[in-house]
Structure 1
């Protein structure tokens, strides 16, 4: 019964919102946005705790959140790691083996609502505020982001170009916000009226439309060197997302894979990341 209820819950939310939007479009849209941005997984599990606790660095207050940072000291340039949705810093443990062996100084942090950081919600503009604070604090030369972490890097670089950044790596990252919202609409069964209210809410709150929020637009002015990974059979973010970004990012290289999935923890991926940073 619980499994059936969980399966039906998104449609129940959607049915409620489709009625609520007639009574109060703004409040219905605000409720939809909180559902969309609610973090439901990604806290530190017991086996992750053993790995993360010894490398905890400082906690930093950013945008109303207490953010947990981590540090693996090294003598080379600083690399900043930005994880994806419903994940945490532990997701980098395999790449960290190679980064530390290569003697990079590595900084990572848990996003709001993830890992050891405070909060319940996450969306790219908030994530970018935290990222920018980390960039100004730790002065990384290289940025590596997985999934929405990669999208956040490209958005922040568009909003706040940082001269200190030399290279950017994105792994299985989405590009078009309207596609993400489209999936949300389908998942909940939202009406066109409800979707329009949500679009208006986003525009009024953040100053851009859902179609304007696009990594393939953000990189048009990006002069940094980029390395993009995406698996052709990724079931979470569409392969064409990285194709679109690469097509307009002049200084980027695109590595296409087959059968590596969305997480892309594999040895071949991590080796190519190190080679790119050292190149």
Structure 2
């Protein structure tokens, strides 16, 4: 797509929503909510198929959705669940899967709704957490690793369900505040404060909470599970300030700040940090 068209498209969508809001508020809110929850990419690409086909696969059913899950069994009793982020899929974990599997860990993963091979057209965190719950209750993993929205969902999931068998959680570049995601949506589409206020009320009806009430920094206060939080100081997707909020509230966290590793954190050094944390018998607060 031409970069000028790509840049103008969100503004055109925003203008359409504002105009529709004037004539039919409910229809505008439904369209805005749908746009907010719909990924534009993240399905499995042809070059990703071979690696995923090597795994044992299992289809999980929730509501009317079919959720694709994967497993790479091993001799180790310790099992790791990997939770990808927005507009991604299980393939994003390929280097880490290969590293951890070689160390003897059994690996589990799933494609989020509307991502990878899973069905559906929309994504939201409570639904993702419910999908995670299916695989967690079935396999009872020892550790969970989540990236970006996957990290956010992982921490929300542990707050909501308090799995006693989860020994460690690793969160890579997770957002903390849903309100921040909604503000980014507003700024991208140039929506009015009045529109966003009504959309926030729509969120309340759909999920049972306003955006400002969904805060990982608050949720982790009730999480006793030891964790590792890795966030790049120059992350241009999820602000570093989000990690600072989480690290100050999560009493059992080791916090590592990287430099120029970006939001994806696709570096061998990061994978080695993860492996070291998993093998380390002791967890303590740190900031490097």
Asked if these proteins are the same fold (TM beyond 0.5), I'd say: yes
Aligned to 2:47: 47
SS in 1 for 2:211: coil
SS in 1 for 2:212: coil
Write out per-residue CA displacement over residues 8-54 of structure 1, whole angstroms, 9 at most, x where no aligned residue.
22111111211222333332212101001111101111111111112
Aligned to 2:286: none
- 1:264 aligned onto 2:265: yes
What is the aligned length? 279
- 1:183 aligned onto 2:198: no
Question: How far does residue 275 in structure 1 lie from its aligned partner after superposition?
Answer: 1.3
Question: How far does residue 80 in structure 1 lie from its aligned partner after superposition?
Answer: 0.3
Q: Structure 1 pair 113/56, CA: closer, same or farther in 2 (3 Å)?
A: farther
**Which structure 2 residues correspond to residues 105-124 of structure 1 after superposition, within 5 A?**
105-124=106-125
Q: Distance in 2 between matches of 1:44 and 1:229?
A: 26
Give the root-mean-square deviation of aligned CA atoms.
Answer: 1.2
Normalising by the residue count of structure 1, what TM-score does the alignment of the two structures yield? 0.97
Aligned to 2:38: 38
Q: Distance in 1 between matches of 2:18 and 2:5?
A: 19
SS in 1 for 2:54: helix
CA contact (8 A) 2:56 2:72 kept: no
Normalising by the residue count of structure 2, what TM-score does the alignment of the two structures yield? 0.94
**Which structure 2 residues correspond to residues 1-279 of structure 1 after superposition, within 5 A?**
2-76=2-76, 77-279=78-280
Write out per-residue CA displacement over residues 101-145 of structure 1, whole angstroms, 9 at most, x where no aligned residue.
110111011111111111111111111110111111111110000
Q: Distance in 2 between matches of 1:240 and 1:201?
A: 27
Higher relative CO (Cα under 8 Å, sequence separation at least 6) belongs to 1
* Greater mean deviation of Cα atoms: 1-10 or 26-35: 1-10
Write out per-residue CA displacement over residues 211-264 of structure 1, whole angstroms, 9 at most, x where no aligned residue.
111110110100000100000011111111111101010000100000111111
Question: How far does residue 3 in structure 1 lie from its aligned partner after superposition?
Answer: 4.2
* Greater mean deviation of Cα atoms: 200-209 or 142-151: 200-209
Q: Distance in 2 between matches of 1:113 and 1:248?
A: 32
Question: How far does residue 278 in structure 1 lie from its aligned partner after superposition?
Answer: 1.4
4+ long deviations beyond 4 Å:
none
Unaligned runs of 5+ in 2: 281-288
CA contact (8 A) 2:179 2:211 kept: yes
SS in 2 for 1:256: strand
SS in 2 for 1:120: coil
Q: Distance in 1 between matches of 2:231 and 2:207?
A: 28
CA contact (8 A) 2:140 2:165 kept: yes
